[in-house]
Each structure stands twice: as structure tokens, then as C-alpha cells.
Amino acid sequence: MSNRVFSLVVCALIATGVGFVSARQSLVAQESTKAVKAEKGEGAKKTAKPGDRLPPNYAKIGISEEQRKKIYEIQNKYDEQIAALQKQLADVRGKEKAELEAVLTPEQKKSLQAANEESQKKAAEKKKAGEKEKGSEKTEKSEK
């Protein structure tokens, strides 16, 4: 029982780290645009190194260049540890999946595979429809 609780706590901590990294990566486009503008001499004064991103909403609160550098240093200090935890989480999830599938009969495995493929197909269609919708919204905005 205690091993199960410990595993859950470890997974929760790893998931938190994954969430943080995901939040950092979601700002890539926003910060990349700023970096391009800075390279062209538009807007920002200094470009960030690849991978350096401010956490959500930090750019909105008036971060100084010195603060920005310190934030990037802190993030870089934890990047390797977070990457290792993400790999560990992926390994644990892989082992869990293997154990879960070991419980299934061959027929159930085939049904599961078909259901997974169907889910992936629907997700791809939904994503494609969402991209088309975004494209039409941009067209409508540019026409106005």
C-alpha cells in the first residue's frame, strides 16, 4: 500500500513538472515572435536564447531585463532535472501500459487497438476542423 502511495506521489510530482514545462513550451510562439522582432530591431531590446521563455503572464507584469536574465538562469538550472523526470514518467507509463495490456485477452487487445486508432482518427479530424476554423476566423478579421 505504501509503495502505491509513494508511486502516486512521485507521479504527481512528475506530472507537475511536466505541466510546468508544457506551460513554458506553450509560450514558444509568443516569445519567438518577440525574438524575431528584436532581431529586426522592432520592439524588444535583446533576443532570448533558444528555449528561454518567461512563465505565463510574466511578460505582462513589467519584467526588467535583469529579472528576465535571472528567470532564464533559474529555468535553465532545472531543465535537465525536469527532462530526466519526464523520461522517468514516460518509462513508468510505458511499464504501466505493458502491465495493463498483459491483463487483456488477444481479442481484447485487437479491440483496444481498433478503438485507439478510431480515437486518433477522430482527434486528427477534430484538430483539422479546428485549424480550418481558425483559418476562416483570420480571413474574417483581415477582411474587416
pLDDT tens for the chain, 144 residues: list them: 556 656 666 666 666 665 554 555 544 444 444 444 444 444 443 445 666 889 999 999 999 999 999 999 999 999 999 999 999 999 999 999 999 999 999 999 999 999 999 999 999 999 998 888 777 666 556 555
Determine the 3-state secondary structure of 3 from DSSP. helix
pTM summary value? 0.48
Alpha carbon distance 75, 84 (integer Å): 14
Q: Within 13 Å of residue 114, how many CA atoms lie on the same side as its CB?
A: 6
Alpha carbon distance 84, 17 (integer Å): 10
Q: In the chain, what are the domain boundaries?
A: 2-103, 105-144
